[in-house]
Amino acid sequence: MIIDRLIDRIKETGNPTVVGLDPRLSYIPTYITEKYYTKYGKTPKAAAKSMLKFNKKIIDAVFDIVPAVKPQIAMYERYGIEGLKAYEKTVEYAKLKGLIVIGDVKRNDIASTAEAYAEGLLGAADIDGVPCGSLPHDFITVNPYLGSDGITPFTDSCKKYDKGIFVLAKTSNPHSGELQDLMCDGKPVYEHVGALIEKWGEDLIGENGYSSVGAVVGATHREQAARLREVMPHTFFLVPGYGAQGGKAEDLAVCFKDGIGAIVNSSRGIIAAHLKDEYKLCYNDERLFALAARQACIDMKNDLRRCI
Amino acid sequence: MIIDRLIDRIKETGNPTVVGLDPRLSYIPTYITEKYYTKYGKTPKAAAKSMLKFNKKIIDAVFDIVPAVKPQIAMYERYGIEGLKAYEKTVEYAKLKGLIVIGDVKRNDIASTAEAYAEGLLGAADIDGVPCGSLPHDFITVNPYLGSDGITPFTDSCKKYDKGIFVLAKTSNPHSGELQDLMCDGKPVYEHVGALIEKWGEDLIGENGYSSVGAVVGATHREQAARLREVMPHTFFLVPGYGAQGGKAEDLAVCFKDGIGAIVNSSRGIIAAHLKDEYKLCYNDERLFALAARQACIDMKNDLRRCI
């Protein structure tokens, strides 16, 4: 089952880190962007080609030391169809290098509409009897606000195609509490969502005791995460918010149980490491950006392992 | 302001109907699909070309009698990049014909990621100082689960580019209550969301007293909709669930106030009218599908006006 393959890869690399592939043009060395600006002008095509080249270099530099990458589709959709082509090619390239790919798409809709998303992002659409392959994600992220009708079409695809989803439970942003922390029957909304996620995942539990239906639980809310770890024993956590958003290894350690149970995302902290003071000195040529990213993955691994 | 232009168009046409452009291949007459299957095989490209041709015929048949269309992006994303090209061209064509376009994308993310979505779907991205136009939506739908950090980037774009959003409050699906009806401090979650939506929209109120930040309120929950109409006096409603999902004009009339205040979506009921028994007799040639759709828009208008 896909969740077992993710756990295996985490054990092999000893690194519960997922690299967020959320490129911004400001992160990309000018030797890359200038080449494409010269060729295509300052166009979506040039932006997209730059992002793809950047991602490939990052993937080449880290694929052997991290289990997974998480491209954030918003960063690509920003540049329209050209951007989405770069997203597609990034997913394909990461798969080719043996990485688990978590598409951060936060899709949500109901019934046959959610089914259409599931077909395009996890399964296969049907064209008059001919199956039409989807993007080769292993997991995607999904928003739970619509309830079971919005989730079942995705879990059906997970069963059929051996894929997984991470459902938003408690997000890492400062105002996540506006809805997620509302108290209902003595429990916050995110805990109700947690109980639903456990239920949605009960038919997809793998050999390691975790389900292919996981949860997004922010690194910035230590106590809530600890509580969710308790009430969601079969749910693997995808943990955003480490680093740039203020989440620390000490805080998110509660998401783990016996050293597994979670994977921690870092985007900017890794892919833009070359712009940070602590790496600038060693990687003092923009062409070394991917090596800086590799070092940041190693440093993150050591930081996490110190605490879990 | 865009909300005033939507209201003006509703008044001009006398029809608070939005046509959901959610094509499935099974809705599309074979004279269209066969042409493209012959040319491109049973491929995503053929599916996408069929959808676009179908949409254009529908738009040509209804643009003068309805104010708006709402393409559902899932139906296009199902066929990957080719599908998304058909989505883009559908949005552009509808704009060309003077329709208000509501992109049903239900995006949600935080801070700079939500900003990237807002740039791609409502505003403009920046490529080293050169603005890069987005899809020409007038409105998009947004999911509120992440709270204000997930909404402000969209409302900022609404202000800058004179656009609007519809935020999910109470959806039309059977299990929407799992989260949305949880009671917190004596009020269901959707009412808390309703209060947030009113707040998010307070700087975007137009001449008619409604904000460019609207709400999605399902036609299938009459009492909840009535209560939301009361507590959200400045919020325009986008109402799904009419027809195929069981919502009736009598039930959703509570979404209106003095004949305005809402726009009602129908997808299948209009674009697949030619497959329904009641239209099959009159439109007994598949080439007449767009005329059947036109008649369905007129019938829906009469049905709604009977009640509001």
Encode pLDDT of A14-26 as tens digits.
999 999 999 999 9
Q: What's the CA gap between A58 and B208, in Å, rounded?
A: 52
Residue A242, token pair as written in the block: 């480490």
B243 pLDDT tier (thresholds 50, 70, 90): confident
Q: Which of A293, A295, A308, A182 is nearest to A239 (CA)?
A: A308
pLDDT in tens, B75-122: 999 999 999 999 999 999 999 999 999 999 999 999 899 999 999 999
Residue B112: per-residue pLDDT? 92
Q: Which residue of B has its CA nearest to A142?
A: B108
CA dihedral A185, A187, A190, A195 (to 10 degrees): -80
The backbone torsions φ and ψ at residue B73, rounded to the nearest 5 degrees and listed phi first, read -65, -25
Residue A246 clears pLDDT 90, i.e. is over it: no
- Six token digits for residue A227: 């509580």
- CB distance A80–B144 less than 8 Å? no
Q: At B32, is the pLDDT very low, low, confident or very high (cuts 50, 70, 90)?
A: very high
The interface pTM score, or ipTM, of the predicted complex is 0.96
Inter-chain contact B132–A75, Cβ cutoff 8 Å?
no
Supply the pLDDT for residue A258: 87
d(CA B76, CA A117) in angstroms, rounded, equals 9
Confidence of residue B281 (pLDDT cuts 50, 70, 90): confident
**Closest Cα in chain B, distance from residue A12 (Å):** 31
Residue A188's nearest CA partner among A201, A200, A176 is A176
Subunit contact A42:B128, Cβ cutoff 8 A: yes
Q: Which residues of A touch B136 (CB under 8 A)?
A: none
What residues of A are in contact with residue B27 (Cβ under 8 Å)?
none
Q: How confident is the model at residue A280 (pLDDT cuts 50, 70, 90)?
A: confident
Task: Name the one residue in this structure whose structure tokens are 């009159």.
Answer: B282
A117: closest CA among B265, B29, B140, B83? B83
pTM for this model (two decimals): 0.97
Relative to beta strand B17-21, strand B68-71 is parallel
Q: Is A106 an active-site residue? A: yes
Instruction: For residue range A87-117, list pLDDT tens digits in order.
Output: 999 999 999 999 999 999 999 999 999 999 9
Which of B43, B134, B176 has its CB closest to that of A146? B176
Strand, helix or coil at A258?
A: coil
Minimum Cα–Cα distance from A178: chain B residue: B147
Residues of chain A neighbouring B148 (CB-CB closer than 8 A): 175, 178
Active-site hit among A11, A35, A97, A106:
A106
In this complex, the residue of B43, B147, B150 whose CB is nearest that of residue A127 is B43
Pairwise CA distance, residues B270 & B292, whole Å: 8
Q: Choosing among B34, B128, B152, which should be mutated to test the A contact, i.e. which has the most A CBs within 10 A?
A: B128
Band (A281; pLDDT cuts 50, 70, 90): confident
Selecting from A85, A146, A168 the residue whose C-beta is nearest the C-beta of B171 gives A146
Region of poorest pLDDT, from A135-144, A252-261, B240-249: B240-249
Residues from chain A that touch B187, judged by Cβ atoms under 8 A, are none
User: What pLDDT is attached to residue B219?
Assistant: 86
- Nearest Cα of chain A lies from the Cα of B12 at a distance, in angstroms, of 31
Q: Among A46, A176, A189, whose Cβ lies nearest the Cβ of B179?
A: A189
Whole-number pLDDT of residue B246: 83
* pLDDT value of residue B156: 98
Look at A205-214, A259-268, A276-285 and tell me which has the smallest mean pLDDT.
Answer: A276-285
The yes-or-no verdict on residue B244 having pLDDT over 80 is: no
**Overall average pLDDT of the B213-233 stretch:** 94
Per-residue pLDDT of B146-199, as tens digits, reads: 999 999 999 999 999 999 999 999 999 999 999 999 999 999 999 999 999 999
Q: Which residues of A154-169 are buried (b: 16+ CB within 10 A; e: fewer)?
A: bbebbeebebbbbbbb
Which of A113, A134, A143 shows the shortest C-beta gap to B143? A143
Residue A243: pLDDT band (50, 70, 90) is confident
pLDDT tier, A134 (very low <50, low <70, confident <90, very high otherwise): confident
Q: Which helix (H) or strand (E) holds B19?
A: strand B17-21
Q: Which residues of A are less than 8 Å from B119 in CB distance?
A: 78
- Backbone region of residue B14 per phi and psi (left: phi > 0; alpha: psi in -120 to 50; beta: other values): left
- pLDDT at residue A120, as a whole number: 95
Per-residue confidence band for B258, with pLDDT thresholds at 50, 70 and 90? confident
Which chain A residues are within 8 Å of B132, Cβ to Cβ?
A: 42-44, 47, 79-80
- The count of other CB atoms within 10 Å of the CB of residue A304 is 23
Closest Cα in chain B, distance from residue A61 (Å) = 25
Give, in order, the Cα–Cα distances in Å from B148 to each of A10, A117, B142, B211: 34, 26, 12, 17
